[in-house]
Chains A and B, each alone.
Chain A
Amino acid sequence: MSTLSLAVRDSSTMLRRNLLHMRRYPSMTFLLIGIPIIILLLFVYVFGGTLGAGLGPSGDRSQYANYVTPGILLITVVSAAQGTAISVAMDMTEGIIARFRTMSIFRPSVLTGHVLGSLVQTMLSLVAVTVVALLVGFRPTANAVEWLAAVGVLAMITFALTWLSVALGLVSDSVETASNLPMPLILLPFLGSGFVPTDSMPAAVRWFADYQPFTPVMETLRGLLLGTGIGANGIIAVVWCAVISVGCFFWAKALYNRNRTA
């Protein structure tokens, strides 16, 4: 069997394993979907009136629902990534990982199984969150192609953050650590253009907000779904996602291959 077909076959076997885990323990998935939905409701119904007014002379709660949805979608991705870090760390405490290491299989397939499983889980979460967003007043103007492109952008950032969280799960020596390490990620949509435009922020914060990876991703999504200007953000988003994916893939692979004593 060639390396590639071995990789595909073993990865899909591991994907089936991860999907079975999710099906058997759906509570984790619900918890991960719950967080972005609560934040969405909070920001639309509690802060939405005031924040909407800040968007411009005609700004109101419904306009804010449009503005905040791309940020909420990224919160969804980050929340799911936290779940991935936890499940990877939990998996590493299981004896079966030692068994996989002594088998003649595509070695990173344990990790690719987690990544593909999380990708499926995150995409389902995104569908659920988008439905709730539509219910609370999100009114996208995108056509079919733009929708497809938005899904592609979300898949890209999910892929990148999932590899990051797999690495974080591997580097953690306990499940608790794995649960805490990705926490700062959930702040990034706030410290970007996710909840308010960056030009309302003080200079230092604004500088960070403009140059961190989440902002171009959110601006691209906003452009695709709501027709605002995208500019160079599309390219920047793609580059960020590629860099994070590749870097974290090699990091995770090295962590997985290191010698363990137990």
Chain B
Amino acid sequence: MTSSMNPAIVATDLRKSYGDKVVLDGIDLMITEGTIFALLGPNGAGKTTTVQILSTLINADGGNARVFGHDLTREPDAVRALIGVTGQFSAVDNLLTGRENLTLMADLCHLDRAAGRQRIADLLDQFDLTEAAGKPVSTYSGGMRRRLDLAMTLVGEPRVIFLDEPTTGLDPRSRRAMWHIIRALAAEGVTILLTTQYLEEADQLADRVAFLDHGRLIAEGTPRELKRLIPGGHVVLQFADQEGLDSAARTFAAGTRDDAALTLQVPSDGGVGSLRSLLDQLDHASISVAGLSVHTPDLDDVFLTLTGQPDARASRPDHERAPAR
């Protein structure tokens, strides 16, 4: 997707504190035009603050940043003309209808009447809101509201879009629809900075990912590069008794055994071929296995390894990692 290597956003040593609390502790960013950049981190890591600074909503205490060469503090209006922001909390006018909201944006972007009307019709169509266009936004569902929000951001055809947790609180279907829209925008050459708490989302969408923790970037790279930072995948074998575990441990000398849980962790790339050979070896040794799970590294592992919270994953039920709210 990178037709050019122009930097769209360059930030150096961004700092922000509220009173004693340091929210951003020196952030450097370089985002190439036409790419999707994901800023990942838990709540309170400083994601929203970063977006608020880069979108001219608040001033940084230190450091500087440019959007297409325009300095944020010296030329905020030049920056504002290039960007679009869809924040975490829906930025729509609840008393107006969907169409009135879009018309408001078209007027504020100073589109002429005909061009504005055409743009609004296209966006309503693209975001599947034509039917609801005449209804007040207060009657919209969460997914519709988020789509309208993004449509409003796009009226002025921004070259850089900030999406602050664009899918938080959406059901899986609306979430997938939002991903589809984001990919299509990037394909058109729009630069996208998105923040998310969902590692899967960053993995799915982003060309580059940065991990933010306690106001610092702790790692940055492509999802593939980041996954390489941590040890490879493995297969976990679960046994019914100590005997099974003992004989399996003899067969797979490279495994790591856990006597309390009666499990053996065997290094594996998780591929079908290696799984088959593993099962064959078990068969051959007549070892009965109660259960088996394949584990390939994902960004969760990277994040948890980097933040030094390896135990958090085990103690956290799986569904908590899925978008839920």
Residues of A within 8 A of B (CB): 1, 9-10, 13, 16-17, 20-21, 24-25, 94-96, 98-105, 259-261
| 4 closest Cβ pairs, A-B complex | A99-B91, A95-B91, A104-B80, A104-B81
The B interface, classified by DSSP as helix, strand, loop or mixed, is loop
Residues of B within 8 A of A (CB): 18, 55-59, 77-78, 80-81, 83, 85, 87, 89-96, 100, 104, 107-110, 136, 152-153, 156
- B57/A98 in contact, CB under 8 A: yes
Rounded to whole angstroms, the CA-CA distance of A101 and B77 in the bound complex is: 10
Rounded to whole angstroms, the CA-CA distance of A194 and B132 in the bound complex is: 51
Find chain A residues with CB under 8 A from B108 CB.
Answer: 10, 13, 100, 103, 105
Query: A24-B95, A96-B92, A259-B59 are known contacts. Are A102 and B80 too (CB-CB below 8 A)?
Result: yes
- B152/A99 in contact, CB under 8 A: yes
| Further pairs besides A20-B96, A96-B91, A259-B58: 12, Cβ < 8 Å | A16-B107, A20-B95, A20-B100, A21-B95, A24-B136, A95-B87, A95-B89, A96-B93, A98-B89, A102-B83, A103-B109, A104-B77
Find chain B residues with CB under 8 A from A100 CB.
Answer: 108
The minimal Cβ–Cβ distance linking A178 to chain B, given in whole angstroms, is 17
Rounded to whole angstroms, the CA-CA distance of A21 and B80 in the bound complex is: 26
- A101/B56 in contact, CB under 8 A: yes
A-B contact pairs, 30 of them (CB 8 A): A9-B107, A13-B104, A13-B107, A13-B108, A17-B104, A20-B95, A21-B95, A24-B136, A94-B91, A94-B94, A95-B87, A95-B89, A95-B91, A95-B92, A98-B89, A98-B91, A99-B87, A99-B153, A101-B57, A102-B56, A102-B57, A102-B85, A103-B80, A103-B156, A104-B77, A104-B78, A104-B80, A104-B81, A259-B59, A261-B18
Rounded to whole angstroms, the CA-CA distance of A3 and B223 in the bound complex is: 46
The minimal Cβ–Cβ distance linking B179 to chain A, given in whole angstroms, is 22
Find chain A residues with CB under 8 A from B100 CB.
Answer: 20
- B110/A17 in contact, CB under 8 A: no
**Which residue on A lies nearest to B96, using beta carbons?**
A20
**Which residue on A lies nearest to B18, using beta carbons?**
A261
Q: Which of A1, A16, A98, A261 contacts B110 (CB 8 A)?
A: A1
Find chain A residues with CB under 8 A from B94 CB.
Answer: 94
Find chain B residues with CB under 8 A from A99 CB.
Answer: 85, 87, 91, 152-153
The minimal Cβ–Cβ distance linking A112 to chain B, given in whole angstroms, is 13
- B104/A261 in contact, CB under 8 A: no
Find chain B residues with CB under 8 A from A10 CB.
Answer: 108
- B95/A25 in contact, CB under 8 A: yes
Find chain B residues with CB under 8 A from A101 CB.
Answer: 56-57
Rounded to whole angstroms, the CA-CA distance of A105 and B76 in the bound complex is: 11
Rounded to whole angstroms, the CA-CA distance of A11 and B90 in the bound complex is: 23
Rounded to whole angstroms, the CA-CA distance of A9 and B116 in the bound complex is: 15
Query: A98-B87, A98-B91 are known contacts. Are A9 and B58 too (CB-CB below 8 A)?
Result: no
**Which residue on B lies nearest to A5, using beta carbons?**
B110
- B87/A17 in contact, CB under 8 A: no
Rounded to whole angstroms, the CA-CA distance of A259 and B100 in the bound complex is: 29
Find chain A residues with CB under 8 A from B90 CB.
Answer: 95
**Which residue on A lies nearest to B89, using beta carbons?**
A95
- A260/B58 in contact, CB under 8 A: yes
The minimal Cβ–Cβ distance linking A99 to chain B, given in whole angstroms, is 4
Rounded to whole angstroms, the CA-CA distance of A112 and B69 in the bound complex is: 32
Rounded to whole angstroms, the CA-CA distance of A98 and B86 in the bound complex is: 10
**Which residue on A lies nearest to B152, using beta carbons?**
A99
Find chain A residues with CB under 8 A from B93 CB.
Answer: 17, 94, 96
Most buried by B among A24, A95, A99: A99
Find chain A residues with CB under 8 A from B55 CB.
Answer: 102
Find chain A residues with CB under 8 A from B153 CB.
Answer: 99
Rounded to whole angstroms, the CA-CA distance of A1 and B81 in the bound complex is: 13
Find chain A residues with CB under 8 A from B92 CB.
Answer: 95-96
Rounded to whole angstroms, the CA-CA distance of A24 and B104 in the bound complex is: 16
- A17/B57 in contact, CB under 8 A: no
